[in-house]
Amino acid sequence: MGCNSSRPDSGGGVAGVRILDNDTVAVDAFGNAGGDGDDEYPTGPEDYEFGAGEIPLDRFALSPDQEDYVTPQYLQSMQRVYQAEAAKQGRFALIENEEERRPPLTDKETLVAPELLARADAIADATPLEVAGAGFDVLVGHLCDQVSTELEAVRVLFRWMAVTTGNRRVDALLEGAETTQEDPLHYIRCIREGRGINYVLLLHRLLRHAGIAAEVVGGVTKGAQYRIGHHVNEDNASLWLAVLVEGQWRLIDPIWACQVLQGYDSGEWSRLDEAAAAAAASDAAAGTSAAAAGEVGFAISEFYFLTDPHYAVLEHFPYDPRWQLLPRPISLEEFEEMPQCEPEEMERLGLEIVSHPKCVFEIRDSGLSQQERRLGLHIKKGQDNTLEFQEEPREAFAIYSARLYIHASALNSEATGSEIQYKSQKWQLAHFCITGHSVKKRELFITVIPPVAGKFLLKLFGARCADSCLRHVISYVFHCRRPAEVAPVPAGNLTEWGPGGQTAEAGLDPLTHPDPLVETVRGEARLRFATESNHLQYSIELRSTDNGIRFLELYSIHWMENGEAVFHLRAPKEGLYAACISCRLPSGRVVPVCDYLIDSQAPCQDPDFLYPRLKEPLGVNSDACRSLDTEPLAPHQFGYLECATRTLRVVWRMGRPLLYCVTMRLQDHRGHHDYTDLILVETSVAEARASVSIKFPQYGYYHLAIGAAPDSGSESAREVRHLCNYVIKFNGEPYVDATPFPRPTPLWQRGFRLMSPDSSQLEAGRYVQIVVKADRRVKFGQLQLRVERPQLLMFYLQRDADNPVYWKSTIDAGPPGGVWTLSALPDPDDVAGSVAGPLMQFQVLDAKAEADAQKRRDEWQELLEYCRKQNAAYEERLVQLEQMVREQARTLDEVLAEERIRVLREAEDGDDEAMDLDEATLADIEEQAKIQLGKAGSSADPEERAKREQIARDAAVRVAKSRLRAAIRQEDLEGIGRGLDRLRELEIQDEKLVELAERTVRITGIKKDLASASAQSLSQRAAGPLRAALDRARKTGLLKESHPLLSEAAAALVRVDRMERLYKRVLSLDGKAVAELRAYVNPKQAIVDTVRATLLLLGEYEKRTNSWQKCLRYLNPTGKTSMQQRIAQFSPASGLHPSIAARAKVMLAPYSEEEVIQSSAAAAAFFSWSLGTVIESEESSNPRDFQPANIERQRKLLGVSKEEHSRLLWEGSGGRK
């Protein structure tokens, strides 16, 4: 948390004071002095007037003709030009006449030496407190007799005052002591009691007694009471000193140099974050206001001692312009227009203002205000960035944080203590402010994106290193007329964007992107950093404010390359992203390093393909490679590879015999797909090489993991160590008909290489040539091919006479179903040292049958892709409809009620009283009407009778209208009918009310029609009734498409349509598909869990289906008890409990539809139906109810008796065969 402090205003609200002959001062809150005397403190020119209220915005407009505005760097450059010109002309004469006001010829850094300050400070610190009670003469004599120069005298007096007034031990000295105005303790007592102006009076008396010329300067300051963009007034008045030191006037503000105001809050601005929310809750609980007066603390600031004039004028404006001590004094208007900044922090951090030289600016149009919303600050060149840390010099880089505050008048009704309403969502203000920092370019910028119209406060905080406290640097106020139509900025890990201070401290130097904002190229960006250490582990995380993006963490990746840290990221959608880079220290602690703001104008290519999830860092494990004496060879020595050919061969150096373990998989939104059977590892001891051959069946990002173990001969003694993680981007023509490599055994890696064929599948009835290359150092006798089905056959490979390392044989693959095993036979002369055993296997397949099977798989794959696209389109439409409803931010009933009330108020014609009449009041009115009619009938006076009849009629009209309005509000169709009949009976002409009643009848009819059609569609699992009702509602023209009634019906139609397609898919299965499913003896676990989840949704207790044999009894191909018929008769609304659906979701979660469809078409249809039913139940249920049901809860919900439950437990434990 940053340090929240500011400079206090002078005590007493002084606008001007008078000093008496005896140097005593009497002053009231308005500056009216008591006593007589000639020597006065300045009160300012008589025609000086404080402004009231806010300064008009046109005063802050920038003129294209004006180049130089009053900024800190402008004032500093003006002062340096003056000093250089004076040195050139030889004007170094010191001031001898105190009445002469002239800018100093040297700056503070040249005048004040650190060793001088240390010597004077030691004298002041060693002075006993009791000396202060002896009077000014004794005190000043004790202090000044120990110094030799005028500068040392000023310093020792200032230091004594600052240390003594802040020393708590002085309270004991003041307790019970009687002091006078001739006693220094009197001023110390006033200061300790909170009257800060006595700092000025005390130091002024001390300097006078020391014979040093000093003048009290009056003026206004930008302290705690100052409001940016407002005229300065009496609340900003203060005093400070001008001291003639070494023949030059210097400025000292004793109040600001010795005190600091902490925790002050005017209550005018709100930050809207967690801290603000906690403070607001605390204030609400305590019944206090958000405003806080703050506490004044004692803290010495060297900046306000002998401050350079060009810095002092940034916060102090004297009434007498001569006391500015500037070559060209500035005006009050320029003082008010300058940004409120901390000169000490600006100098310490080395900041210069590049844009926005005035403290207030305006954003007129968010669409054209990119430049207006961006504030630029340059970091000075040549700043001393070194500090001492553990006696070792190192660079210290500044860090920054810009914070946005909103004025109380701009908060909308939906704003809370920590969030503001923007585009139907609630956001913190931190999402609308960007602090960009580039250490390499030495630039800092701030971009603001106002979420609402109104007034905002922007504060910049800075610190010299990451461990320092953030301190206020500069503030602006800006006005926004129209809010920005852009997406909020994602949250990062740091307070600033770009390669800033933390990046440099981590030893990273940006090579490609020194700016905080990165624009992608075709949705991708690659960031490169030079790094000082290859032993640190880096990571990158991609963030977005779009919650609809899935697997966002799998769109970024990192690896090391030639001493560079490389980060590659892809944007799945257009928009803004946060790329957060972190570093793991040797201690294991993870620290943020850099945050980039990624602007992507287009999505990346094929956003469905993801980077793989990695358990180990990407790239080579150097320690493991050294211990096993192996390493990758160029160009495969880095973790990220790109390949445009459908095959790839990765080569490693092998210093000793090793056995390699390699896996490959592909990641996408549906899960990961194992392609390990498309890789083949081969080694050569003679060439000291190991190679991995790869086939790529489709586009995507493949994860290739390589491990190895010493070839010790014993499997139990092998410890596989991870060597490398590769991510291979394949963007070429895929190997569409890729078939697996033959399955090798560990003996294959003793030095064999398969030259032909490159597939484990041999076509039945065809001749095929087997060619194997054997390493010269491998000892074996013969290579044998053996097949056992349908009969035992053996062939021996023959050594090539021209090239003895090649072994060849041509064989007839034989009938389908055969398995050929390639084996090495031992060398008769050296059986113990020979390689002997199976090497790899080939399978014989029927080409036509395999082609048909592949065709069916391709058809199902196309169907699956089509269904996936349709589902995605429906899901997107559903999200749009739900978003439309959310943007209304009201429920359907609220919208209809507000619409009825609005028209009712229009129909009342100003008679609001009739809307609030209850039935009892209406009954009283009717009773009074009857009484009036009775009196009218008994009256003989025609005028009186007519008057009473009119009163009775008015009462009847009022009652009829009130009851009709009540019926309209309650949607009581019978009541509306009776009300309309009553209006006709009374011959009342009220077109608005009648139109409203008829409209309500029609809307209520539409509502009932949609509800009935929705129930019918759900029961029949057909979207037709609901679609027809929705079309009828649209044709009436009564409701807009965005009306919640239509939006909810359209969303329901999407869900019903989705379930209808799932039902049709299941019912389209023929008996052959289900029979094929029943034929499985030991199916994959994905099929078992799919069938079990389907049966659980249909009401079968989970214990009844805890094995595949038990599931088979429910898989009838036809009949009323078949799975298709049970699904056809199933209705989620008729009894499916959400907890049962949640349990089914857990059972289906590990699998994807593509994984199931490769094994069984029937299981894939059941999987789709089960998953759709689960989604439907989850969307229509309360999240608290959608929790997986355990066995006991299932038993109760499904009505399983305790006897059956016990029997199933007994069977499951093996008690019954």
Range from 575-579, 601-605, 828-832, 1050-1054 carrying the lowest mean pLDDT: 1050-1054
Inter-residue contact 1142 to 1188 (CB < 8 Å): yes
Range from 23-32, 714-723, 818-827, 864-873 carrying the lowest mean pLDDT: 23-32
Q: What is the pLDDT of residue 309?
A: 92
Range from 294-303, 460-469, 697-706, 791-800 carrying the lowest mean pLDDT: 460-469
Q: What is the pLDDT of residue 910?
A: 42
Residue-wise DSSP of 1051-1110: HHHHHHHHHHHHHHHHHT--HHHHHHHHT-SS--HHHHHHHHHHHHHTT--GGGGSSHHH
Distances, alpha carbon 108 to alpha carbons 112, 213, 240, 305, 379, in Å: 6, 18, 17, 9, 21
- Range of 62-76, 185-199, 375-389, 787-801 with top mean pLDDT: 787-801
Q: What is the pLDDT of residue 798?
A: 92
Q: What is the pLDDT of residue 409?
A: 76
In sequence order, the β-bridge partners of residue 237 are 220
Inter-residue contact 457 to 468 (CB < 8 Å): no
* Residue 1064, both tokens: 């049709």
Q: What is the pLDDT of residue 1022?
A: 67
* Residue 544, both tokens: 């977005």
**Cβ neighbours for 593, distance < 8 A, ≥ 6 positions apart:** 502, 503, 506, 508, 538, 581, 582, 583
Q: What is the pLDDT of residue 1020?
A: 59
pLDDT band at 1190; cut points 50, 70, 90: confident
pLDDT over threshold 80, residue 602: yes
pTM of the shown model:
0.63
Q: What is the dihedral of CA 344, 348, 354, 355, to 10 degrees?
A: -50
Around Cβ 775, how many Cβ atoms within 10 Å?
A: 18
Among the listed residues 957, 905, 888, the one whose alpha carbon sits nearest the alpha carbon of residue 926: 957
Q: Fill in the amino acid letter for 801.
A: A
CA dist 983 and 498 (Å) reads 73
What is the average pLDDT across 271-289? 54
Distances, alpha carbon 916 to alpha carbons 265, 898, 965, in Å: 45, 16, 10
What is the average pLDDT across 391-402? 60
Q: Which residue has the higher pLDDT, 928 or 115?
A: 115
Inter-residue contact 721 to 708 (CB < 8 Å): yes
pLDDT over threshold 70, residue 717: no
Q: What is the pLDDT of residue 807?
A: 93
Residue reference for tokens 């030691």: 122
Among the listed residues 422, 441, 373, 361, the one whose alpha carbon sits nearest the alpha carbon of residue 402: 373
pLDDT band at 817; cut points 50, 70, 90: confident
Inter-residue contact 1029 to 1009 (CB < 8 Å): yes
Q: What is the dihedral of CA 127, 129, 131, 135, to 10 degrees?
A: 130
Over the chain, what is the mean pLDDT?
77
Q: Any idea what DSSP says for residue 532?
A: S
- Strand order of the sheet with strand 351-353? 351-353, 374-379, 443-448, 433-438
Residue reference for tokens 């389109």: 873
- Range of 823-832, 868-877, 913-922, 1072-1081 with top mean pLDDT: 823-832
pLDDT band at 380; cut points 50, 70, 90: very low
Q: What is the pLDDT of residue 579?
A: 94
**DSSP 3-state of 337:** helix
pLDDT band at 384; cut points 50, 70, 90: very low
pLDDT band at 814; cut points 50, 70, 90: confident
Range from 264-278, 815-829, 885-899, 1096-1110 carrying the lowest mean pLDDT: 885-899
Q: What is the pLDDT of residue 269?
A: 84
Q: What is the pLDDT of residue 556?
A: 92
pLDDT over threshold 90, residue 1058: no
**Cβ neighbours for 1097, distance < 8 A, ≥ 6 positions apart:** 1130, 1136, 1140, 1141, 1144, 1170, 1173, 1174
Angle at the Cα of 333 from the Cα atoms of 306 and 46, rounded to 5 degrees: 85
pLDDT digits (tens, 9 = 90+) for 50-93: 335 788 888 888 877 777 788 888 888 888 888 888 777 665 56
Q: What is the pLDDT of residue 1067?
A: 63
pLDDT over threshold 80, residue 383: no
pLDDT band at 324; cut points 50, 70, 90: very high
Among the listed residues 115, 122, 299, 123, the one whose alpha carbon sits nearest the alpha carbon of residue 196: 299
pLDDT over threshold 70, residue 706: yes
Around Cβ 167, how many Cβ atoms within 10 Å?
A: 14
Please write down the long-range contacts of 582-586, taking CB distance under 8 Å and 24 or more positions apart: 582/493, 582/538, 582/539, 582/540, 582/541, 583/506, 583/536, 583/537, 583/538, 583/539, 584/536, 584/537, 584/538, 584/539, 585/536, 586/535, 586/536
Helix H or strand E segment including 243: strand 237-245
Around Cβ 894, how many Cβ atoms within 10 Å?
A: 12
Inter-residue contact 963 to 974 (CB < 8 Å): no
**Radius of gyration of the CA atoms of the chain, in A:** 43
pLDDT above 70 as % of the chain: 75
What is the average pLDDT across 300-306? 89
3-class SS string, 1112-1151: HCCCCCCCCCCHHHHHHCCCHHHCCCHHHHHHHHHHHCCC
Q: Any idea what DSSP says for residue 830?
A: B
Residues 56, 58, 59, 62: is their CA dihedral positive or negative? Answer: positive
Inter-residue contact 452 to 483 (CB < 8 Å): yes
Q: What is the pLDDT of residue 1064?
A: 67
Q: What is the pLDDT of residue 578?
A: 93
CA dist 573 and 546 (Å) reads 9
CA dist 320 and 302 (Å) reads 25
* Residue 369, both tokens: 């205000």
pLDDT digits (tens, 9 = 90+) for 152-193: 999 999 998 888 888 777 777 777 677 777 778 888 888 877
Among the listed residues 546, 612, 537, 551, the one whose alpha carbon sits nearest the alpha carbon of residue 581: 537
Residue reference for tokens 């926005």: 356
pLDDT band at 525; cut points 50, 70, 90: very high
Q: What is the dihedral of CA 120, 125, 129, 131, to 10 degrees?
A: -20
pLDDT over threshold 70, residue 616: yes
pLDDT digits (tens, 9 = 90+) for 417-445: 567 777 767 788 888 888 888 777 778 88
Distances, alpha carbon 403 to alpha carbons 269, 270, 280, 432, in Å: 12, 11, 18, 10
What is the average pLDDT across 351-377? 65
pLDDT digits (tens, 9 = 90+) for 1143-1175: 998 888 888 777 777 777 778 888 888 888 888
CA dist 395 and 502 (Å) reads 11
- Describe the chain by its helix, strand, coil percentages, rounded to 5: 40, 25, 35
Q: Which residue has the higher pLDDT, 655 or 941?
A: 655
Q: What is the pLDDT of residue 990?
A: 75
Range from 191-195, 340-344, 537-541 carrying the lowest mean pLDDT: 191-195
**Cβ neighbours for 849, distance < 8 A, ≥ 6 positions apart:** 816
pLDDT digits (tens, 9 = 90+) for 639-663: 999 999 989 999 999 998 899 999 9
Strand ranges (DSSP E) for 676-805?
A: 679-684, 689-695, 700-710, 721-730, 743-744, 752-756, 761-763, 767-774, 782-787, 793-796, 798-799
Inter-residue contact 320 to 42 (CB < 8 Å): yes
Beta-strand pair 721-730/640-643: parallel
Helices marked H in 796-938:
847-888, 892-908, 919-938
Helices marked H in 268-423:
274-286, 309-312, 332-337, 343-349
Inter-residue contact 405 to 271 (CB < 8 Å): yes
Instruction: Phi first, then psi: give them for residue 783, nearest 5 degrees.
Output: -110, 125
pLDDT over threshold 80, residue 695: yes
Range from 244-248, 355-359, 451-455, 484-488 carrying the lowest mean pLDDT: 484-488
